Amino acid sequence: MRAYDVVIIGSGIAGGFLARHLRLTHPDLAVLVLEAAATIDDYKVGESTVEVAASYMIRRLDLGTYLYQHQLPKNGLRFFFDSAGKDLPLQRMSEIGSDHLPYHPSFQLERARLERDLVTMNRASGAEVALGAKVVDLRIDAESHHTVVYEQDGARHEVTCRWLCDASGRRHVLLRKLGKKVHKETRLNTAAAWARYRGVGGLDAVRDDAWRDRVRYTSRHLSTNHLMYDGYWIWFIPLAGDLMSVGVVYDKDRLNALGTPGPRNREDFERFLAGHRAASDLLKHPSRADMEDFQAYAHLPYHADLYFSTDRVAVTGEAGAFTDPFYSPGSDFIATANEFIVSMISSEIAGDRSAFEEKVKAYDAYYRFKYESTLLLYSRMYPVFGSFELYRLKYLLDFNNYYNLVLWPFLAGRLTDVAWLREELRLTDYVLRALSTMADHFSALAADLHGRGEYFARNEGQWANGLNGVAQLQRVVSPRFDPTFRRDQIDRAYGSVFAALLERRLGATGLSDRASLVSELSLREILRMKDLSPPVLSGLSRRVGDRLARELRRELPTAGVTSVDVDLSGASPRVIGPVEGSDDHLRAQTRAQALWDTPAGSLAHVTV
């Protein structure tokens, strides 16, 4: 019976990346990868990566040259918004995107090709990769070595290993054997259907000079393109070799409420896409595209009872948890899990039992937090997706949080630092409350806009440069970590977005870029504002007035200013204290107005 240090079940990108990571980190480790498929030639969903996964592939796995030679660079995320009748041509749809490639790279992956190439690379590195090897039994021995039984070419094989890692995807081979439950997520009821096409001209084939010039002729085709609707979104993702991935992800509850169920089979899918002018035009230009394959999932999100264990077992990728493909977090979860697994294995094989146990505890807790925080990005948010003005603000906040709270720690090497993770985990409830509170406010404004008949009001002809909203972070996000700047940017992002939501709810034009207001909207203060009831708004007005009064007393100490009344609906502030009509009152009132008009430099204003 052959013995290995690590056996990995599955040679998709989760297992293939883990094998490469282990061999690069510990070249002496004996690694066996067992892949049930005899040939890796099926298309897989999950082609789009974002910055954490790209950094992992380039910096940890040394795949930078490979990715640029054999896969496609990605031109960021791009979002288009349609009319209520779903009949706008692409050029007239409001757009959130960029006019240059993002500073931090990402890629569009043709998964089957990458996974085949990983087999070759891993074998060349000294790992053993067995194709057509179906795992049929596992025996877990926490005190010694685990046993893995698999069948290949009609023969039965047994091997032992110190570590067993499951990358088998939704088959959940390890968790099922251990009797650990995989929970169907009920807080987000989404499903998906998708296909690959050949012959799609792509977005750059649209012949409109003004539209192309708006993004300085950069390639929209290379972006992960989202067509956004109330309750669902449609993706167009280019792949190397004249392939286009096209899919629909939908909130079943929302579409059922609207009386338009999402597609469940190929015929439904084609009919569904045909009902959207922009999607239909893309699939017909320059000629009708040919569908290569079709797949669907009836339910997307789930989570598990176990991710990492001191019994020397671990799961990575979809073998453990999945939230939603919006923002493409799947490969980020793989990067995070693999970083944790390699770090745990490093401590365990070094004989440092104390460090190993500390890592298992911290990593498992953080991975659960990552699932919860990611889920809250989407839960209750699908009704927000179809409105340009609403989603522009949500994306601004989400993009800032991703660069600040997710990408920066990864680039700075903090992710596997147990002491740093403990500090982050102390803020778990705080972060989750922030996400939930903002979801409440976004949902309330969506309902308001529907009620006013304004949900689609800005869905035609508008443009927002999404990269402008994170320019302040792009310059500093690097291996150098700045906790103070990081905290300040959290308040700036939340304050900017909340002020913009407040302006729209109150109908007070210009409110969102007033420095005296935005300065009062730290995240801590926002968490106290569960709604926008009269008492809540009155308290905010009072705090802003107190801020203005303090500044006036500092600048005009003899004027006798006692307070300043502020009306958030947009009226001028009213100074109280100096005798009305006096020179002191005139000076104080003039200065109060100037302070009230001082711009905040709100992030909500730099994107447009």
Domain ranges in the chain? 2-70+109-184+303-349, 73-106+189-297, 542-597
Q: What percentage of the chain reaches a pLDDT higher than 90?
A: 96
The span from the CA of 98 to the CA of 78, in Å, is 8
Predicted local confidence at residue 606, as pLDDT: 81
Mean per-residue pLDDT over the chain, rounded: 96
One-letter amino acid at 470 equals V
Q: 512-569: per-residue pLDDT in tens?
A: 999 999 999 999 999 999 999 999 999 999 999 999 999 999 999 999 999 999 999 8
Predicted local confidence at residue 532, as pLDDT: 95
Q: 466-496: per-residue pLDDT in tens?
A: 999 999 998 899 999 999 999 999 999 999 9
Report yes or no: 338 and 316 within 8 Å, Cβ to Cβ: yes
| Architecture in CATH of 73-106+189-297 | 2-Layer Sandwich (3.30)
Q: Give me the DSSP letters along 337-406.
A: HHHHHHHHHHHHHTT-HHHHHHHHHHHHHHHHHHHHHHHHHHTTTGGGTT-HHHHHHHHHHHHHHIIIII
Report yes or no: 10 and 169 within 8 Å, Cβ to Cβ: yes
* Chain CA centroid to CA 37, Å: 30
In this structure, the number of other CB atoms found within 10 A of the CB of residue 120 comes to 10
Query: Two tokens at 74?
Result: 């990605």
Does residue 452 have a pLDDT over 90?
yes
> 3-class DSSP state for residue 130?
strand
Predicted local confidence at residue 607, as pLDDT: 66
Predicted local confidence at residue 385, as pLDDT: 98
| Mean pLDDT in residue range 52-58 | 98
Report yes or no: 570 and 596 within 8 Å, Cβ to Cβ: no
Q: 276-319: per-residue pLDDT in tens?
A: 999 999 999 878 999 999 999 999 999 999 999 999 999 999 99
The DSSP H or E segment spanning 166 is strand 155-166
Report yes or no: 58 and 64 within 8 Å, Cβ to Cβ: yes
Q: Is the peptide bond before 286 cis (omega within 30 degrees of 0)?
A: yes
Predicted local confidence at residue 571, as pLDDT: 82
The residues pairing with 129 across neighbouring beta strands, listed in sequence order, are 33
> 3-class DSSP state for residue 232?
strand
Q: 408-442: per-residue pLDDT in tens?
A: 999 999 999 999 999 999 999 999 999 999 999 99
Query: For 76-80, 197-201, 245-249, which range has the lowest pLDDT when averaged over its residues?
Result: 197-201
Q: Give me the DSSP letters along 422-475.
A: HHHHTTHHHHHHHHHHHHHHHHHHHHHHHHHT-TTTT-BS-EEEGGGGGHHHHT
- CATH (residue range 2-70+109-184+303-349): 3.50.50.60
Q: Give per-residue burial for 547-577: e unless 16+ CB within 10 Å, then b.
A: bbbebbbeebeebbbeebbbebeeeebebbb
Predicted local confidence at residue 28, as pLDDT: 97
Query: Two tokens at 560?
Result: 């006798």
Q: At what angle do helices 353-378 and 428-452 cross, to 10 degrees?
A: 10
> 3-class DSSP state for residue 249?
strand
Instruction: Look at 226 and 607; give whichever has higher pLDDT.
Output: 226
Q: 177-204: per-residue pLDDT in tens?
A: 999 999 999 999 999 999 999 999 889 9
One-letter amino acid at 74 equals K
Does residue 608 have a pLDDT over 70?
no
| Mean pLDDT in residue range 41-50 | 89
The DSSP H or E segment spanning 158 is strand 155-166
pTM: 0.96
The span from the CA of 41 to the CA of 196, in Å, is 13
Report yes or no: 358 and 340 within 8 Å, Cβ to Cβ: no
Does residue 1 have a pLDDT over 90?
no
